[in-house]
Amino acid sequence: MRYVIVLLLMMVTAAVQATEDKYNFATAEREQTFRELTHELRCPKCQNQNIADSDAVVAKDLRDKVIALVNEGQSKQEVIDYMIDRYGYFVHYQPPVTPATIVLWVLPVAIIILGFGFIVFRQKRAAKKQDWNAADEQKLAELINQYQRQEREQ
């Protein structure tokens, strides 16, 4: 029985062993460029993961393409432009301000400003309603007296 358990554990752990991609770079600068790019580029399949952290096949293909472009001597911006041309602005975590993406940049600020304006408007409106005058004071005194009379009668 012990041998069966050991054999099963060995089979399970053999499938779990993972390997890390090893890349060779001509210079440390190219390696740094590669690391920065893989953290800036988004996986098209995973959507909220960069290609450095994603295990998707397309992310591995993108990492391989990035390393090929970096080893060819292309700059960081040239690699980003290549990926944007191929996959669109979605692949880059920091899309540029263009007529197509202006809404993404302006809308959050506009919502915050409108929300703040709404809160200020409501506060001012509520403050106006709370003006206390002598007529209100007299009306309150009458209501209190009426309530006290009803309590005594019961």
Three-class SS state of 78: helix
* Res 1: pLDDT: 79
Q: Which CATH class is domain 18-91?
A: mainly alpha
Strand partners, 42: 50
Query: What is the pTM assigned to this prediction?
Result: 0.55
C-alpha angle with apex 30: 27 to 33, nearest 5 degrees? 150
What are the contacts of 78-83 at 24+ separation with CB within 8 A? Answer: 79/33, 79/37, 80/37, 80/40, 80/41, 83/41
Per run of 10 residues, the mean pLDDT along the chain (length 154 residues) is 73 57 77 91 86 88 92 91 88 80 85 95 79 81 92 84
* Res 82: pLDDT: 93
* Res 133: pLDDT: 77
- The structural domains of the chain, with segments of one domain joined by +, span 18-91, 102-153
